[in-house]
């Protein structure tokens, strides 16, 4: 056989094979879509989630579904072979009307209920429902119980250095929870948690309410059949943050000729107090002033208790309410001297003044060498009658003592002179 003949024979075989395949495909198409026989067996769609309607109506009657025997159903469909893909893609809803239990003489207990199927097969579809499983479902209905549960605020996090946590408050104290008696009995506590880190200012935010059982596990409310009946399950929680600050205590001193900052030592039994307060208030507080001490009124030492008065809007965290202030005047000498050079000033023109006091013991303070040279003739005692002008009678008035001729010596202490004004 020639080469040409072999090639022609091979081409005829290939053409025959292509023709055979085309005929087979055409026959399959004709049988499947022109003749379109019915399916050999129904197609079943499984795992269709049940939907429940009318729960709000039951709640209005103080009823609640506590159990359902199944949550998913299966539906089978018949049709033509060409409908197989349409059945596979069919969206099916199964809806249970819970209000049907209200038609029962005793709505509580277990009820067998039907469900309605909803699906769209199209106007010209040959799809038909072949059956469903189960055909009915069982629901258990119980009396609904509502209880007020006390809320507990919880702060989870940290506080910035120099600050402290104060009150943790909620916008409400309780929440109403509804469910079966058994489900309500599971609730051991209810918390609202604020989660923050390194907090340095007061913060308020909405946070969810979490219910807990006796074992300390969070309760899945949907699974337990519990609902909040007086809100959306959130509460405003506020963590108040206070600044914490150590504040020095201080007395002001009025210096005198022989007692100044250079030779006065001040000691505080409590040098500082720790205060807490709003950062806007406490941020500007840098010291607490106890009062003023006139160094001319003391000799060489002084001690007095002062009340610690903290600023409004702050709180004393360290607890001290008083402090003892001790003052010592150093590097000076003292001397007592009796003086009788007493006069008065600022008397009214109509007043006649008689000085009853004839002499006073004066304490002098200053340079030791100069103190030895001071005599009574250098000391003048002057009573000031400006506060007594126009008065009548005998009474003490404040007096000031002058030491003439000595630059580093002064009289210290407080003095009064008794006068009679007519």
**pLDDT tens readout for residues 248-297:** 999 999 999 999 999 999 999 999 999 999 998 999 999 999 999 999 99
Task: Give the long-range contacts of residues 132-136, CB within 8 A, separation 24 or more.
Answer: 132/73, 132/74, 132/75, 132/76, 133/73, 133/74, 133/76, 134/70, 134/73, 136/112
Confidence label for 386 from pLDDT (cuts 50, 70 and 90): confident
pLDDT of residue 10: 58
pLDDT of residue 1: 44
**Alpha-carbon gap, residue 220 to 223, rounded angstroms:** 5
Q: Output the CA–CA distances (angstroms, integers) from residue 115 to 44, 76, 77, 127, in the order listed.
A: 17, 15, 17, 20
Confidence label for 15 from pLDDT (cuts 50, 70 and 90): low
Q: What topology does CATH give the domain 43-143?
A: RNA Polymerase Alpha Subunit; Chain A, domain 2 (2.170.120)
- CB of 257 closer than 8 Å to CB of 284: no
**Alpha-carbon gap, residue 411 to 376, rounded angstroms:** 12
- CB of 258 closer than 8 Å to CB of 332: yes
| pLDDT digit string, tens, across residues 333-361 | 999 999 999 999 988 888 889 999 999 99
As its CATH architecture, domain 333-421 has: Beta Complex (2.170)
Read off the DSSP letter of residue 281: H
| pLDDT digit string, tens, across residues 389-421 | 778 899 999 999 999 999 899 999 999 999 999
Count of CA atoms in the C-beta half-sphere (13 A) of 402 = 10
pLDDT of residue 9: 63
pLDDT at 225 over 80: yes
pLDDT at 66 over 80: yes
Phi-psi region of 172 (alpha: psi -120 to 50; beta: other; left: phi over 0): beta
Tell me whether residue 89 is exposed, middle or buried, using C-beta atoms within 10 angstroms of its C-beta: 0 to 12, 13 to 18, 19 or more.
Answer: exposed
What element of type H or E holds 11?
Answer: helix 3-29
CA 302 to chain centre: 48
pLDDT over 70, % of the chain: 91
Count of CA atoms in the C-beta half-sphere (13 A) of 247 = 30
**Does domain 243-329 sit in CATH 2.170.120.40?**
yes
Average pLDDT over residues 69-94: 91
Q: Which CATH class is domain 149-213+230-242?
A: mainly beta
Q: What burial letters (b/e) apply to 67-85, b meaning 16+ CB within 10 Å? A: eeeeeebebbbbbbeebee
Mean pLDDT score of the chain, rounded to an integer?
Answer: 90
Confidence label for 4 from pLDDT (cuts 50, 70 and 90): very low
Position with higher pLDDT, 405 vs 17: 405
pLDDT of residue 86: 87
pTM of the model: 0.63
């Amino acid at each position: 056989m020639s080469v040409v003949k072999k090639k022609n024979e091979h081409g005829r075989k290939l053409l025959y094979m292509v023709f055979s395949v085309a005929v087979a495909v055409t026959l399959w198409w004709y049988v499947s879509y022109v003749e379109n026989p019915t399916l050999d067996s129904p197609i079943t769609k499984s795992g269709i989630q049940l939907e429940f309607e009318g729960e709000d109506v039951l709640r209005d009657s103080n009823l609640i579904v506590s159990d359902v025997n199944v949550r998913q159903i299966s539906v089978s469909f018949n049709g033509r072979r060409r409908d197989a893909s349409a059945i596979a893609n069919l969206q099916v809803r199964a809806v249970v009307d819970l209000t049907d239990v209200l038609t029962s003489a005793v709505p509580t207990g277990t009820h067998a209920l039907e469900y309605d199927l909803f699906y769209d097969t199209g106007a010209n579809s040959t799809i038909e429902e072949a059956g469903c499983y189960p055909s009915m479902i069982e629901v258990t209905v119980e009396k609904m119980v509502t209880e007020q549960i006390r809320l507990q605020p919880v702060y989870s996090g940290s506080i910035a250095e120099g600050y402290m946590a104060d009150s943790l408050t909620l916008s409400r104290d309780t929440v109403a929870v509804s469910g079966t008696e058994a489900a309500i009995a599971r609730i051991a506590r209810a918390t609202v948690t604020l989660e923050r880190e390194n907090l340095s200012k007061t913060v308020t935010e909405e946070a969810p309410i979490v219910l807990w059982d006796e074992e300390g596990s969070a309760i899945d409310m949907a699974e337990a059949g519990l609902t909040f009946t007086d809100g959306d399950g959130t509460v405003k929680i506020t963590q108040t943050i206070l600044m914490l600050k150590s504040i020095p205590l201080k007395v002001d001193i009025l210096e005198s000729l022989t007692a100044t900052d250079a030779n006065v030592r001040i000691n505080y039994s409590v040098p500082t107090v720790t205060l807490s307060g709003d950062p806007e208030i406490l941020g500007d507080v840098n010291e607490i002033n106890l009062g003023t001490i006139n160094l001319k009124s003391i000799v060489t030492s002084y001690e007095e208790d002062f009340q610690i008065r903290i600023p409004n809007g702050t709180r004393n965290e360290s607890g001290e309410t008083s402090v003892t202030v001790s003052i010592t005047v150093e590097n000076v000498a003292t001397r007592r001297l009796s003086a009788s050079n007493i006069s008065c000033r600022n008397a009214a023109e109509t007043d006649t003044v008689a000085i009853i006091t004839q002499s006073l013991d004066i304490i002098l303070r200053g340079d030791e060498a100069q103190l030895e040279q001071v005599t009574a003739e250098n000391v003048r005692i002057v009573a000031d009658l400006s506060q007594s002008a126009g008065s009548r009678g005998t009474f003490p008035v404040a007096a000031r003592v002058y030491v003439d001729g000595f630059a580093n010596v002064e009289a210290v202490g407080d003095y009064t002179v008794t006068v009679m004004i007519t």
